[in-house]
Amino acid sequence: MPKTMKIILVGIKKDKNMLVKYDSLKVADKVLAEVRRIWPSKLDGVIRCFANFREQGYVISVHSAKRGVISVLFSENRTSEHIKTYLQNEAVYDGLTDEGVKNVKLFQPKCYVEAAEYIVKVLQAGCL
């Protein structure tokens, strides 16, 4: 893992009373592993967990000189095994904005490398 990448995991606690299915993080974990493998060493980002009670995954936010903070959320699609990404031109803490819902991209099941390359490319470019 590059030394400059900051990792913050927020929002998911192991609490039997929560409605979070930890099995649904398995796909996002595989995408995250690929993102961390190819992450550019000069790009700082923050990774957090998210759970909107339909999907659970991760959000990576970076500061862009062009657009301020941009974020990519990714998870397993709730109705299929596809990998789903959402892009937003802002920091994301508790779910999606309308903008994120409009900026959805799906990847075929098990296409972890392709999804990770797309996530890193978008964050590195600093624009949607």
64 in any annotated domain: yes
27 in any annotated domain: yes
CA 94 to chain centre: 13
Residues 42-84 have pLDDT tens digits of: 777 888 887 776 788 888 888 877 777 888 889 988 888 899 9
85 in any annotated domain: yes
Helix (H, G, I), strand (E, B) or coil at 73: strand
Give buried/exposed letters for 11-43 (b at 16+ CB in 10 A, else e): bbeeeeeeebeeebbebbebbbebbbeebeeeb
Tally of structural domains, the chain: 1
Q: Report which residue type is found at 50.
A: F
* Cβ-Cβ contacts under 8 Å for 51 (sequence gap 6 or more): 11, 12, 18, 20
pLDDT above 70 covers a percentage of the chain that reads 67
105 in any annotated domain: yes
1 in any annotated domain: no
65 in any annotated domain: yes
24 in any annotated domain: yes
60 in any annotated domain: yes
Task: Answer yes or no: pTM beyond 0.85.
Answer: no
Q: Can you give the residue range of the structural domain that contains 73?
A: 6-125
The mean pLDDT of the chain is 75
